Structure 1
Amino acid sequence: MLGGRGAGKTRTGAEWVRGVALGEPDFAEPALRRIALIGETFSDARNVMVEGPAGILSIHARHERPTWSPSLRKLEWPNGAVAQVFSAEDPDSLRGPQFEAAWADELAKWRHVEETWDMLQFGLRLGAHPRQMVTTTPRPIPLLKRFLEDPMVAVSRARTSDNAANLAPVFLDAVVGRYAGTRLGRQELDGEMIEDRPDALWTRDVIERNRIESAPPLMRIVVAVDPPASSSKRADACGIVAAGVDDGGTAYVLEDVTASGLKPPEWAAKAVALYRRLQADALIVETNQGGEMATGVIREVDPSVPVVSVRATRGKYLRAEPVSVLYAQGRVRHVGALPALEDELCDFGPGGLTSGRSPDRMDALVWALTDLMLREKKEPRVRVL
């Protein structure tokens, strides 16, 4: 099921699982029913798929509601059906268990989407008719494209507007009113599979071609920060992206922990935490927004962190273009999936993003890769991630 934000995907998936557990005639006997629930993370699976307002627990009548054991990551129905909860961040956790049904939520955001999906297929080996339900806002990733071409896959679609009666009027006015008809709105509201923007600096094919599961030993790692001008609710996000370079001159984009609505001490702490976890060499901070405040607030969090201040003297497109060339040359690789960052890259053209918002993730990426690949070489030190 491909759907927009608030279109009812979670409710649909939860109702499907309820039908499986309570006795659809073409499933096995209740005592044999085994169901897998896979979310982007365990927290997402628990908070959205199981405990959420449209989740499994909320859509059952009291007498048929399953018992939820968070510590065991397990739902048990009175009739003997059992559902186990898994995280797409840990594909190997799907080795061993076996099921006759599975619900996969927001698959297009999974970090290890191909590996997790493959492990799930090997586990769907019970009953006469194993089946699975995918609910996601679409992104043009290879796996979803294969689904759409597969005659064995039934595809349903839902738009945000189809579920307007159950959504806050303020949301409909503010979000639907702003993005309706735009490229981003067609994907996030109408549930359409939107391909690359023709004039974008990046293409998904190039990113996919250079994706790897883990990085090799790296000579230098940096965390780049593109701070917002303010911390108000309407402020831009704080771009925070980590990247490294190996001894052969290939760069690896490691993580994107960009966040919105944070006050300066909060985004500074987030950036410093990533710096420490990756044992990075420096924090690269753009000082156009906030000037010395940006570097000062980081030093308040940890005065020992080496901070490199950078200032933009050219427009975003001109700064980003040399970095996109590095991708085209096969000199940059993404470690795992970075869906929000990749969406931004593949939607950035001469006029900016189609949404009109600031490309904060891309800006942070550009600063990181510029430092690693397009400046005078720094003294390296080898480490293994």
Structure 2
Amino acid sequence: MKSLDELRHSPPSAFAAWAHRLSDDRAAKLMTDWAWWRRDDQCPPGGDWRVWMLLAGRGFGKTRTGAEWIRGYAETHPGARIALVAASLHEGRQIMVEGESGLLAIAPDYDRPEYESSLRRLNWANGAVATLYSAAEPESLRGPEHGAAWCDEIAKWPQGETAWDNLMLTMRIGDAPRVVATTTPRAVPLVRRLKGEPGVAITGGSTAANRLNLSGPWLAAMRGIYGGTRLGRQELDGEMLEDIEGALWTRALVERCRVDADAAVKPLRVVIGVDPPATAKGDACGIVVAALLRDKKVAVVEDASVENPPPHVWAQAVAAAAARWGADRIVAESNMGGEMVESTLRQADCALPVVPVYASVGKGRRAEPVAIAYERGEVVHAGVFAALEDQLCGLQTGGGYAGPGRSPDRADACVWALAALLEGKRRAREPGVRRV
């Protein structure tokens, strides 16, 4: 008879024949026996760790690993108090609780917890309780106490370090409170900090490690499109990439310029930057809202960009953003023709003035003074805009781009909007000059 390890790696037909010979009860238990199914790189590390950080590519099985660890903890610790922390309550429920690899889906029928949505709480029969929290509301982590926690996608938490610190102060139950953090690696301050902290065990992994459970055509396509690129190295290979050489923006610079979203209440002036798609399909439309605040700083207040939109869709998105923020003008890249951009916006009932800008002037030349304004503290981000910030950190001196995606659509739109507001501030300081 073959060993279980041999069966796991045998052809599907051989495995199916072996499974068919099992009793229904034994087969049902085997299907939910994570210790048998998991790969070596999904096993908790040995040693005396307090935080296990799993940095791995998309599709690696991070969610399943985190959910199974929590399930095992709950089943072996009656009365346990567990924290489940996600970037938002919606993502926590959709992924950690109700997702395909979430806690409800992986649980065996005989020990499936009950989810009380109104209390954001999972209850096991043995008295163990897991409560869902949002990293966007770090103050909600004041007061409760826990013996275990699962933190999902910490690299995209909107108030990462504050939420993490508040969570750590709740980890005070039991002899050895432990936290599992699962995330695609990004060089944000929280992830970089944890890599250097004592008591943090790190496991890395790539998308390919889970290839037996992924679509072959999808995996081949992703490798063909993104293999060898910075985005592929991060999202598929699970590498944590530091700042790009020659980048105009660094992660530390962006974090230093971050303020609460409340800072953007009742701005003095609002401009929307637009970078329309250069091709009929495959490109995003960058739509970024920037505002002049009452303290005279310029702020990014919304990234309303749309992926792969037809003209009427991106035009409607611009019009909606303008209405939300009371914008007074639109600054649009018009290499395709200023009249075409303006007419497309007019069809969406957007009557604001459209100021064309031309990339032929040099994206690098236009972006560099904006980056300098960040350095001087003149520009802030009123909130977190992960996709936009990734692109900004890919813009290089001289006009190069080494960030995610084929084109920095969001970053370009951001630069157009901020440059217009910064120029307006500069002109307003000149004697005898009024803004028009």
TM range (shorter): 0.7 to 0.9
The Cα of 1:316 is off from its aligned counterpart by: 2.2
Quick check: 2:151–2:179 contact (8 Å CA) kept in 1? Answer: yes
RMSD: 2.4
1:150 lines up with 2:197 in the alignment = yes
C-alpha distance in 2 between matches for 1:118 and 1:300:
49
2:307 alignment partner, one of 260, 276, 282: 260
Deviations 1:248-303 (A, max 9, x none): 54222222232313333333333333333333333333333474444344444444
2:242 partner SS: coil
C-alpha distance in 1 between matches for 2:257 and 2:403:
25
**2:334 alignment partner AA:** T
What are the equivalent positions in structure 2 for 1:57-76 lying under 5 Å apart? 57-76=104-123
Which shows bigger deviation, 290-299 or 119-128?
A: 290-299
The Cα of 1:137 is off from its aligned counterpart by: 0.9
- Matched with 2:69 is 16
- Matched with 1:358 is 407
1:110 alignment partner, one of 144, 152, 157: 157
1:228 lines up with 2:277 in the alignment = yes
- Matched with 2:386 is 339
TM-score, reference length from structure 2: 0.78
Quick check: 2:189–2:252 contact (8 Å CA) kept in 1? Answer: no
- Matched with 2:27 is none
- Matched with 2:185 is 138
The Cα of 1:10 is off from its aligned counterpart by: 0.8
C-alpha distance in 1 between matches for 2:323 and 2:160:
27
Which shows bigger deviation, 333-342 or 275-284?
A: 275-284
Q: Which runs of 5+ in 2 are unaligned?
A: 1-53
- Matched with 2:357 is 311
**1:250 alignment partner AA:** K
TM-score, reference length from structure 1: 0.88
Deviations 1:75-106 (A, max 9, x none): 22222222122222222222333222111111
1:219 lines up with 2:272 in the alignment = no
Quick check: 1:287–1:309 contact (8 Å CA) kept in 2? Answer: no
C-alpha distance in 2 between matches for 1:48 and 1:292:
44
C-alpha distance in 1 between matches for 2:142 and 2:202:
27
2:422 alignment partner, one of 373, 376, 380: 373
- Matched with 2:175 is 128
- Matched with 1:177 is 224
Percent same amino acid at aligned positions? 47
**1:87 alignment partner AA:** S
Quick check: 2:276–2:284 contact (8 Å CA) kept in 1? Answer: yes
- Matched with 1:2 is 55
Q: Which has the higher contact order (CA 8 A, sep 6+)?
A: 1
Deviations 1:312-366 (A, max 9, x none): 1423222222212222233212223322222111122243235561101111111
Distance 1:289 1:166, change over 3 A: farther
- Matched with 1:26 is none
The Cα of 1:53 is off from its aligned counterpart by: 1.4
Quick check: 1:285–1:307 contact (8 Å CA) kept in 2? Answer: no
The Cα of 1:37 is off from its aligned counterpart by: 1.2
